Structure 1
Amino acid sequence: MSIRHGLLALLGTGPMYGYQLRAAFEAHTSQTWPLNIGQVYTTLARLHRDGLVRALPANEGGQRPFEITDAGRDELARWFASPVPRATRGRDELAIKVAVALVSPGADVPAILATQRAAIMDELRELTRTRLAIDPADLAQRLVLDALLFQAESEVRWLDHCETTLGLTGQPGPATVRAG
């Protein structure tokens, strides 16, 4: 997730100071990706340095709001118009764990898959509860939660695929798959 572009988008709705940006970001993402306030202010400083936002005078409470500049709007428009490459989404730690477990002596691949399945099923239940509890009119939160639900469901499908590929389905008990 591009914090930089997320903050620009929020500033596109009007001037805000750091704590307002953090609260708005977390509200629109259903608190899924909490932000450290230091991260918000560091990002604002970089956006200011790059001419994408400008600092406004401090308000009565001492907070200094920022507003998006024309250059910031152009940058935001480019981001909205560009696809998110899969390569920038980070390495898939689970895929790496399973891959190296397959060649690691003593690694219990079925247990690794079962542990992950239990965790992702818990996450699916929690996401579903959260999804049911949010305001149906809040499209931003709904879509973020839907994305997380679909990603979790995809992980379950991948775990199913691993078990089928490794011949682990239908076995009466845990079997250890060892490097061959």
Structure 2
Amino acid sequence: MSTAAHVLLALLAAGPLHGYDLKKAHDLRFPKAKPMAFGQVYATLGRLERDGLVEQTGTDRDGGPDRTLFALTDAGHRALDTWLAAVETPAPYVSSDLLAKVVVALLVADPEQARTWLSAQRRAHTARLRELTALKADPTTGLGDVIAADFALTHLDADLRWMQTTLERVTDLHREIHG
């Protein structure tokens, strides 16, 4: 089951909601950079209902089209508890566009060009660090966005440290080869 499905189960754990309200609740609690599309909400609800993890508990009109309320079933509660209790296995191999680009740059470029590309990437990471730090300082930023910013900042910092180490290794290798 997808992470999005588990997130919807978690949002329904507080009580029944309409699809529209689920999307709003998701987007309030998770980074605005990755809002959940309405189509994804309803497709996921359909799969969760098919699998017996949510059920329709009624409809209302509230001045507009019929809106279906969805609630977590006992099986949905168990599925959510099982997912939350499971420890995420750290990835055995790191794979990212950044890693691939750096390795390819080192393979095809002369060391000076590779350093230039790495330096440009470092500047982009540093600029993103500043943006996220400013976001966290904004008093209107919600808790979900602050937590997501902390997550991103930690990863950006690790990327920057890795790029610095890589730059130093490229420089050392260049010195060894060219004396």
Deviations 1:18-51 (A, max 9, x none): 2222221121123132212111111111111111
Task: Give the direction of change, closer, same or farther, for the CA distance of 1:162–1:141 in structure 2 (3 Å limit).
Answer: same
Amino acid at match of 2:18: Y
Amino acid at match of 1:53: V
Structure 1 residues not aligned, in runs of 5+: 169-174, 176-180
Match of 2:101 in 1: 97
SS in 2 for 1:163: helix
1:20-169 paired onto structure 2 within 5 Å = 20-60=21-61, 61=64, 62-87=66-91, 91-104=95-108, 108-134=113-139, 139-167=143-171
- TM-score, normalization by structure 2: 0.81
Structure 2 residues not aligned, in runs of 5+: 175-179
Deviations 1:63-87 (A, max 9, x none): 2121111111111111111122233
**Would the aligned equivalents of 1:134 and 1:141 in 2 still touch at CA under 8 Å?**
no
**Would the aligned equivalents of 1:53 and 1:72 in 2 still touch at CA under 8 Å?**
yes
- 2 CA distance for matches of 1:158 and 1:102? 14
- 1 CA distance for matches of 2:15 and 2:43? 20
Match of 1:16 in 2: 17
Give every structure 1 segment of 4 or more consecutive aligned residues whose post-TM-superposition deviation is greater than 6 Å.
none
Shifted more, 66-75 versus 107-116: the winner is: 107-116
Greater radius of gyration (CA): 2
The CA RMSD over aligned residues, in Å, is: 2.6
- 1 CA distance for matches of 2:93 and 2:151? 14
Task: Give the direction of change, closer, same or farther, for the CA distance of 1:134–1:24 in structure 2 (3 Å limit).
Answer: farther
- 1 CA distance for matches of 2:130 and 2:123? 11
- 2 CA distance for matches of 1:120 and 1:105? 21
- TM-score, normalization by structure 1: 0.81
Deviation at 1:57, TM superposition (A): 2.1
| Identity rate, percent | 33
* Structure (1 or 2) with the greater helix fraction: 2
Deviation at 1:163, TM superposition (A): 0.9
Amino acid at match of 2:9: L
Match of 1:178 in 2: none
Number of residues of Structure 1 aligned to a counterpart in Structure 2: 168
